[in-house]
Amino acid sequence: MSVAQALRDAAARLEAISGTPRLDAELLLAHALDVSRNELLMRQRDLSVPPGFNLLLDRRLAGEPIAYITGNRDFWTISLHVTPDVLIPRPDTETLIEAAVDHFAKRAPAHILDLGTGSGALLLAALSQWQLASGVGVDVSPAALAVARGNAERLGLADRADFRLGDWAEGMEGPFDLILINPPYIAEDVVLSGDVLHEPNGALFAGAEGLDDYRRIAPMLPRLLGPGGMAAIEIGYDQRVSVSALLVDQGFSVTARADLAGHDRCLVATLVDLD
């Protein structure tokens, strides 16, 4: 079977479980061939379909996310290794980096804190953006930290990224110019579907309202954020009012930024200047 025919057949089979069946097929076949997707598309006529492709396709048809099958996910300007120990970085989360880029248009952040770092996506994206910055990534999961450290090594950022086992910011000392936070925010009774079923529950669910971790994090932030700094905090699409109130109670001024779908996705918190 030709590569073109294999891609057509795979995409047709994937339509039942994926919103991007053709892209999924291309990524899986490129992974099976150990080439980039661009190379696959450019060299279709001189490549052959490897035996392992059908095995990868079966895993995807069973619902396993593409990122866990291939072990890779692009985020911002970097490519990350991911495993089932970490959330899969999503384009919506890039909204936090976009907010930081706007805030630091005239000066670069020197010290960055990433709470709930997971794969290291936010911290490593920020360090790739500001090449003189250093940062700390904190996570409660040793397995997630192992993934993050490996990503820092692969990206050549290990000398500027310090990953620590911790419970949010307990025991942390500031100040930090930029704080990035993507906590669990799904209410415990929400029924999930799709790729997220394969992701770690501890990184998804946060109590009856999805607010448990925000309630813990908000009081920690004033002592950590330096003058002129900002915290960028990911939220669920319906949590702008509730999470903003928690931050305002701690002395922050809060604005919201929308993701590509137009949903409120990032809260930008800055300390109110009382002078």
User: What is the pLDDT at residue 243?
Assistant: 98
Which pLDDT tens digit goes with each residue over 102-149?
999 999 999 999 999 999 999 999 999 999 999 999 999 999 999 999
Round to whole Å and give the CA distance between 93 and 100.
12
Does domain 3-63 fall under CATH 1.10.8? My reply is yes
Burial label for 272, CB within 10 Å (0-12, 13-18, 19+), is exposed
Q: What are phi and psi of 31, to 5 degrees?
A: -65, -45
What DSSP line would sit under 105-157, residue for residue?
A: SSS--SEEEEET-TTTHHHHHHHHHSTT-EEEEEES-HHHHHHHHHHHHHTT-
Domain at 75-271: CATH code: 3.40.50.150
Which pLDDT tens digit goes with each residue over 129-139?
999 999 999 99
Instruction: Write down the domain spans for the chain.
Output: 3-63, 75-271
User: What is the pLDDT at residue 174?
Assistant: 87
Round to whole Å and give the CA distance between 241 and 244.
5
Q: Is 170 helix (H, G, I), strand (E, B) or coil?
A: coil
User: What is the pLDDT at residue 193?
Assistant: 83
Query: What parts of the chain have a pLDDT lower than 50?
Result: 275
Round to whole Å and give the CA distance between 195 and 199.
7
Burial label for 208, CB within 10 Å (0-12, 13-18, 19+), is exposed
Work out whether strand 225-234 and strand 176-181 pair parallel, antiparallel, or are unpaired.
Answer: parallel
User: What is the pLDDT at residue 264?
Assistant: 97
